[in-house]
Chain A
Amino acid sequence: MSDDHARRARERIVRMCANPEGGHLGGSMSLVEILVTLYHDVLRIDPRLPRDPDRDILLLSKGHGAIGLYAVLAGRGFFPEERLATYGAPDSVFTAHPNPAVPGVEMPTGSLGHGLPLGVGFALAARLDGSDRRCFVVLGDGELQEGSVWEAAMAAGAQKLDRLVAIVDRNGLQISGDTEETVALEPLADRWRSFGWTVREVDGHDTDQVRTALTDVPHTPGRPTVVLARTVKGKGLPYIEGQARSHYVRLTERGHRRAHAAVTRGRRA
């Protein structure tokens, strides 16, 4: 079932990238299984009540994954899938970074390093309310070069926010290439642990692994959880997988046919 949701989400993503404006293809494809698992199996949400005060919160801190988020929100029933056809058109609600006017989008993100501080705020509010609602923040790996991420990581550890969960889309690439050759992030798990977090490492395209890591939060009472999800940038399109050039792509009509065929084939494989 999750695989079917993931395939449909990828079809929507490549469709959006066939718009004249193009889209952030690679980093949206890498987080498909993460978002599908969250929206279909983990988050306590009701698409009919997108502002229900008791809902779990999902923040896409790597806002350039917006078309991935829109694709999954459509699949989860927050709005009719047909509305995605306006992506890239003048005055469309679907901007290239998350627009909170889209049902299901909690906060506008895109400038990197904002999601985790916001998440600390949501988690503190839940605690003050005596609520068991949780906050999940999806971060890019290149994004971890922003200092504000670590300000928030330190605050979350100090405040013992064990209902705050960060998920790092560890696709290993940023615009210039390998994160480790740009500004190295490793040893990443040790870095998070030293900030007071519990670390889970998973294959970010294996929905069972992702689900297991995101269920039963908190894993350690008094510690926030980070899931380091190993992913492949451009996942589903073998001819650009793992390549930095998949970051932002405008697909031609022919390119779209090829991409659509590839993601559809992926299901049968």
Chain B
Amino acid sequence: MSVVTAERTAPEQTRAAREVYRDVLVKLVAEDDRYVCLDSDTGLFTAASWGGGARRYLNLGIAEQNLMGVAAGLARSGRIPFVNTMATFAATRALEAVKLDIAYNDLPVRIVATHGGLSAGHLGSTHHALEDLALMRLLPHMTVLVPADGPATESMVRAAAELPGPVYLRLGRGATPDLDAREPVRIGVAQPLRRGADVTLIATGPHPVLAAAEAADELAGDGIDAAVLNMHTVKPLDREAIVTAATRTRGIVTVEEHWAAGGLGSAVAEVVAELGVACPVRRVAVADRFAAGTGGHRHLLARNGISAAAVAVQARRLPA
């Protein structure tokens, strides 16, 4: 019944989203002189061959506040900058510049933030980004995207390139499997990965989506029919999909690589609370602490309860 599992994915379909992004961006910049790549010495573009776009790749060094301001100046002058840094530096260190220089002016800057969630792994809490979705969705005009696999990354980068306002695109670090999704990713529209009549699992990002899909398989064994939604667009949120989940299934479990406060779970709960229906929302997210444990990404996900098992536990606890 599962439509999405790591096991079903052939190894050649496993790619790091940030490498997919890099390859798409290099093409975009080479083909269209509106696009400019602003780097903060991430190392992601070291081997990139820009061809005709070489003048439009600028490494501005390790200075993220300046990076965002420069991007705004370029965007106001008619260019479409793709800004590159790690998620936590984009969202926290440079937040005021993102808010005032980019969001306030509603400028078409694309902030591409790698190392989202716990994906920086053993680099530690200084490099984890468990706050970025909350902070970015607060900002007026901002579109917040979290592709869950390589193909979605490619299509979202291309779609984001054409949006009129600012975009925050959160990527991970390591390779993750491609999903076996029947419907293409469309910005602002939740991607159904599995239909289900009892409960709805709403996830964002590669590992949370995989965890939700795996949990749905597990729940099926218990006779619980779980729908799975890939909420790749955190803002603007697909309210309609959430309303459907809240009114047609008896409860929602959200899954994200983020602190519980302010992220996808909060966004979903806001919609459900305002709807006024009796639909419990349970959040699978990182607890209100700096990530427990040390170690690699997968280890940290398990240690911090971002797992299929945790999702299934929460789903089973939903009132019958």
Contacts and interface: CB of A to CB of B under 8 A. Distances in A.
A125 to B, nearest CB: 3
A121 B70 contact: yes
Interface stretch (A67-75, A107-115, A200-208): A107-115
Contact of A152 (B66, B75, B104): B66
Contacts of B77: 121-122, 125-126, 129
A113 B66 CA distance: 9
A117 B97 contact: yes
A124 B70 contact: yes
Contacts of A35: none
Contacts of A154: 61, 63
B74 interface: yes
A158 B63 CA distance: 13
B71 A121 contact: yes
Interface in B170-221: none
Contacts of B55: 128
A88 interface: no
Given A53-B78, A108-B100, A114-B97, A121 B73 contact: yes
Contacts, number: 95
Given A114-B97, A148-B97, A125 B61 contact: no
A237 interface: no
A114 B101 contact: yes
Interface residues of A, number: 30
Contacts of B58: 124, 159
Q: Which of A106, A108, A116, A148 gathers most chain B CB within 10 Å?
A: A148
A147 interface: yes
Interface in A56-95: none
A129 B34 CA distance: 10
Do most interface residues of chain A lie in helix, strand or loop, or is the interface mixed? Answer: helix
Contacts of A135: 73
Contacts of A111: 96, 100
Interface string B73-87: 111111100000000
B303 interface: no
Interface in A204-255: none
A118 B73 contact: yes
A111 B97 CA distance: 10
Contact of A125 (B73, B101, B105): B73
A119 interface: yes
Interface in B35-66: 36, 55-56, 58, 60-61, 63, 65-66
Interface of A: 53, 100, 106-108, 111, 113-114, 116-126, 128-129, 135, 147-148, 151-152, 154-155, 158-159
15 contacts: A106-B76, A117-B66, A117-B69, A120-B66, A120-B73, A121-B77, A124-B58, A124-B74, A128-B33, A128-B36, A128-B55, A128-B56, A128-B74, A147-B65, A152-B69
